[in-house]
Structure 1
Amino acid sequence: MQGKTKSLFKYGASSVHGAEFGHLPDNITVLEGESVTLRCRIDEEVTHKAWLNRSNILFTGTDKWSLDKRVTLANSNNSDFSIHIDKVQVTDEGPYTCTFQANNKPRVAHVYLIVQVPARIVNISKNVSVNEGENVNLYCLAVGRPEPTVTWKDQKYGLVSDGEFLDITEIKRQQAEDYECITNNGVAPPDQRKVRVTVNYPPMITDMKNMPAHLGKTAILRCEAMAVPPASFEWYRDDHRPVESDNTLRIKNEKTRSLLLFTNVTEKHFGNYTCFAANRLGASNASMLLFRPGAIQGRGTGLHAGMSVGVSVWVSLSAVLLLKV
């Protein structure tokens, strides 16, 4: 083996590695599932030769001692004594020794097989729905060789948190989004998965105003409410009678707002209207006037979080709507 050099190369076929041994130990790195050929070059006449993995004998000459069908003899002649391992497993990692006797002197060559495994997420939090103000604890568990890093990425702001666990204290509605877990160990492209966090909160009416309307014309009263889950809407007149659709008035409910559509304004339509928005977490109401231009507006509008105080009909209404959501 004098004068021999160490080398690491790939054959033309994919996922096959080979190495030529010198006197010093060599490292061969291979991905889990690939195949590898461990080469032992011989330039002297030998009498005995063997392959060992740790203290386990794999081959003595052409006689196979290993029971593993994946391990085969690639070559056995006067110049080459090589073994082949198919579909390498993590348990194959470790030291391998090619030993032979030449001119009544023992010769030994060593190689260390390193098995790498791409980083992979094996367990991650499911999508979660929480109420605003609660704590959120997400986890992302990964495996790989070498040991992978794990980071969490905030999709809205690009913020990064290192580690398998992401804790959000007293979450706000603005923090509802997809959180991405990324694991990487440099062996293959990173593995990435997302967890959706939904934040529930009670309705908050954001758009309401008094509207002038001409007799015989069209008019619209708008009530917009942000809420998760989406709010259900009800409209009431100033005497707390529910507003119902007819041939001159139509209620149109959308995901985040409700519209009162007046197709032919008459005297009976003028007055105070209250929009009530509710979900299982709470309720909000707002009042607005439909008035004739130039007329004195009786009462101003009001925006209330929760239910109006001192009006029993609103208490009953709240209970009914909350049960419906």
Structure 2
Amino acid sequence: MGHGGGGAMSGELIEHLFLPAFGAAAAAELGDSAVLSVGDGTRLAFSTDSFVVKPMFFPGGSIGDLAVNGTVNDLAMSGASPLFMSTAFILQEGTELAELGRIAQAMGAAARAAGVRLVTGDTKVVDNAGGDGVYVNTSGIGLIPDGVDINPRRARPGDAVLISGDIGVHGVAVMSCREGLEFGTTVESDTAPLHGLVAALIAAGADPHVLRDPTRGGVSAALNEIARASAVGVELIERELPIPPAVADACSLLGLDPLQVANEGKLVAFVPAAAADQALAALRAHPLGRSARRIGTCVAEHPGMVVARTGLGGTRVVGLPIGEQLPRIC
């Protein structure tokens, strides 16, 4: 289970098993989506993802809209406008058609809202011992505008680190309805398509160097991956981290770090320091970025490491999660 958590064990699986096995057939950028050049100079973003969330319906969303929005967001993190998606279903024998219909309806509505077309797909059914409800795989293709260069390796010392809103909301929303857990208030998932927010950031001339949607492994995993890819350090200001009280309370109760809890409708952006104010203004002008704020700075010190400055003036290391804290979050 730990190898599927988006943390250090996931990275080791990719680095030491998949990439050596695939060899020259594999691209090595390891971003949220692959950037592919077509002969006439056109650049496409291509991504694939699988969704196994349990329960399949949770406050604020379902596995259906999560699958569409997750793939749209992977494309958006390369600056792409999503165009087409595939959908594949692995269904457990005995799954109710009404339940499957709700998931399909949610996917269709999410695709229409994102302006993306569902153009091909597949369905498989496994016996009761071979599945657990509905699993969904999606792949997406998007078009990257000319002049846009958003890459995990472009972070530079001095870059401002921004986040588009509250963190940890999706993970807590799923936990809140799993096995009867209650946290005294209803927390709804933040699942949403982020390509419009990214387009607004680009249109403002902010020149984002790196974008990442902090899903599995949360903000901690996203920042550590960027720091390692660009060989830079990241310094966070702990008091600036937007952690809602309900998320903080739930994480305290369960012994979790909010920075390692999954998000599905937030992005982290590294932008040049000189463009930080205009980037924040662009984010805050969009409905999905009203609570955007600067949470840190990219530095030359401690390359590959993320640290947080505490309220007492000290620092603590924000490490990459080892395995999976929260099974079946996405």
TM-score, length basis structure 2: 0.22
Higher RCO (CA-CA < 8 Å; seq separation 6+)? 2
Q: Which structure: greater strand fraction?
A: 1
Greater helix percent: which structure?
2
Calculate the TM-score normalised by the size of structure 1: 0.22
